[in-house]
A and B are shown apart, each in its own frame.
Chain A
Amino acid sequence: DAKTTQPNSMESNEEEPVHLPCNHSTISGTDYIHWYRQLPSQGPEYVIHGLTSNVNNRMASLAIAEDRKSSTLILHRATLRDAAVYYCILRGPRGSNYKLTFGKGTLLTVNP
């Protein structure tokens, strides 16, 4: 599976925007960029995904670089409930059965 690189941790203040980066220099043309997050003691939760164009949903925005070798998850106004580990995962035809391979992710701390 193509690998992603994320910072181990980031810190933000409540109600401020948060930009979580992800590098994926070996991404293939058919790989989708998925983001999940995991709150303490819970299973992961889908956040957003995209292929080439920037994407917005009720939870976040995903900005994808033009060469697709990096992307940024944007939380427009962080809340305390956004404190979680955020995983950037590539998902595509390589491998089998749609399985997800989790890296270490970024631990986001939100300060009140």
Chain B
Amino acid sequence: GAVVSQHPSWVICKSGTSVKIECRSLDFQATTMFWYRQFPKQSLMLMATSNEGSKATYEQGVEKDKFLINHASLTLSTLTVTSAHPEDSSFYICSATRPGQGFNQPQHFGDGTRLSIL
């Protein structure tokens, strides 16, 4: 079964509103989670690394004030798209790796959140 849960699955909202997406690790504690964005017909682009108890690390070109990440507990990271506009419409995906495991272990992904800004 799923080990990473993402909510909501899809959201439609008006331009200018803020949208929060939740990512939960279901049966393990994740000190690190990752947020990706995927536009139609394109590959996943890493947006940021979410670190429990500290600030997120953003990839180059990603606006940290636009995409707020909070990793307040070992099982929950949230991504808030602030003042969303139509160009923010995309498929947002989170992932996590079980703690203490190295590069020879899989990363677990949520099912993604389809965000549509009208």
Contacts and interface: CB of A to CB of B under 8 A. Distances in A.
B84 interface: no
Contacts of A99: 34, 46, 49
Of the four ranges (under 10, 10 to 19, 20 to 34, 35 or more), the interface on chain A belongs to 20 to 34
Nearest to B51: A97
Contacts of B110: 43
Interface residues of B, number: 27
Contacts of A93: 103
- Which one of A38, A46, A98, A102 has the greatest number of beta carbons of chain B within 10 Å? A98
A47 B57 CA distance: 27
B43 A97 contact: no
Interface string A36-54: 1010011111100101000
Given A98-B97, A100-B46, A105-B43, A43 B6 contact: yes
Nearest to A85: B43
Contacts, number: 62
B107 A100 contact: yes
B46 A43 contact: no
A43 B4 CA distance: 10
A91 interface: yes
B111 A44 contact: no
A49 B104 contact: yes
Contacts of B49: 97, 99
B44 A97 contact: no
B114 A41 contact: yes
A101 interface: yes
Interface string B83-118: 000000001011101000011101111111010000
A36 to B, nearest CB: 8
A34 interface: yes
11 contacts: A30-B103, A36-B107, A41-B91, A41-B112, A42-B112, A43-B109, A43-B112, A44-B95, A46-B107, A92-B103, A100-B95
Interface of B: 4, 6, 32, 34, 36, 43-46, 49, 57, 91, 93-95, 97, 102-104, 106-112, 114
4 shortest interchain CB distances as A-B pairs: A43-B109, A46-B106, A102-B44, A91-B103
